[in-house]
Amino acid sequence: MSSMWGKNIKLSIFGESHGKAIGVVIDGLPPGIELDIEYINKEMNRRAPGKNKISTSRKEGDKYEILSGYFNGKTTGTPLASVIYNTNQRSRDYEAVKSIMRPGHADYTGHIRYSGFNDYRGGGHFSGRLTAPLVFAGAIAKQILLNKNILIGSHIKSIGNIEDNSFNSINIDASLLRNLSRKEFSVIDDEKGREMKEYILKIKEEKDSVGGIIEAAIINLPLGLGSPFFDSVESKLSHIIFSIPAVKGVEFGEGFNITKMKGSQANDELYIKEGKVTAYSNNNGGILGGITNGMPIILKVAIKPTPSIGKLQRTVDIEKGIETEFEIKGRHDPCIVPRAVPVIEAAIAMALVDLIMEKGELI
């Protein structure tokens, strides 16, 4: 099991969805960083389930306890460990169907990889529940970045075929990114957000689920971050983002759309503004040669539909060795995208801190 990430700052997550607790250990944090606990609480609340009709009814407050690495309001420089106790499990929902391989889940692959010893309840270590410790770590990373005036913001770009507005890839207002983080349903156009929520509720009534795209932006990053080839900015960000359950795609700038352009259209031509080199466009999403170029970093993340649905599906019983049909019971999100927004931001923040530490510019 590879539940560790990072080169300069190391992250290790542990626990299972229906176990006693989940948690995180962060190694490499410099000493003396003052933590805003209220800010961490707000970030955790953004991801927490059970807040509205479009999320699972499983109510987990995501209350964390810091066990080490934090003293008198500041980091000590030793590994910072935090634990989140699970308080609202219904493990009996899984006991009767433990040998049924749920379509779209990691039940079968996990069973094979770990010889049947994996915790099957709620997906165990494969569960989206394990994103809560990542959000905790990301809240610390975001505070470090904010001290350097680096801001991350994101919104729900689409749910199904319903599209929100896109970021202006050249000029992004910091106040827009801050306002998005305060919204329960993070969209630029609130009317589009209303349509998305209505669609999610319709899908929920049909005992089905839907996915979508999250668009993220990063502003005020220093020039020259990234170490090609294998520690490029895209490599670092993609590695941790693809570790998040349900992520099926990541693209930077125009991404796949850039293949439809000619070179004369795709190239971001340069000019000088107030003594600084800048670009007329940002088709490459703020990254060239794996290195930041001073433009905002723009990326999109594709989130698949929640695999836990109430519709009857075809699958297999691994113990009996037979084909069967199965409908999933329990409490599940008809759309995981809204709760994934702070998770994507957390992953981005961790990657950026690692990149900045690589250059020796964290403090």
Residues in binding site for NADP(+): 47, 53
* 329 three-state secondary structure: coil
Binding residues: 47, 53, 125-127, 289, 304-308, 331
**Strands of the 80-85 sheet, one edge to the other:** 4-5, 10-15, 21-27, 80-85, 64-68
Torsion sign, CA atoms 320, 325, 330, 331: positive
Angle at 319 between CA 315 and CA 325, to 5 degrees: 25
Contact 167, 300 (CB under 8 A): no
Distances, alpha carbon 240 to alpha carbons 67, 127, 223, 251, 348, in Å: 24, 16, 22, 14, 8
- In Å, how far from its chain's centre is CA 221? 20
Cα 325 to its chain centre, rounded Å, is 32
Using DSSP's 3-state secondary structure scheme, residue 220 falls into coil
Cα–Cα distance measured from residue 343 to residue 214, given in angstroms and rounded to the nearest whole number: 11
Taking the alpha carbons at both ends of the chain, their separation in whole angstroms is 33
Helices (H), 224-359: 233-241, 263-266, 337-358
The answer to whether 330 touches 203, Cβ cutoff 8 Å, is no
Rounded to whole angstroms, the Cα distance separating 256 from 70 reads 43
| Phi, psi torsion values for 266, nearest 5 degrees | -75, -35
The rounded distance, in Å, linking the Cα atoms of 197 and 2 is: 36
Binding site for FMN, by residue number, is 125-127, 289, 304-308, 331
DSSP 3-state assignment of 336? coil
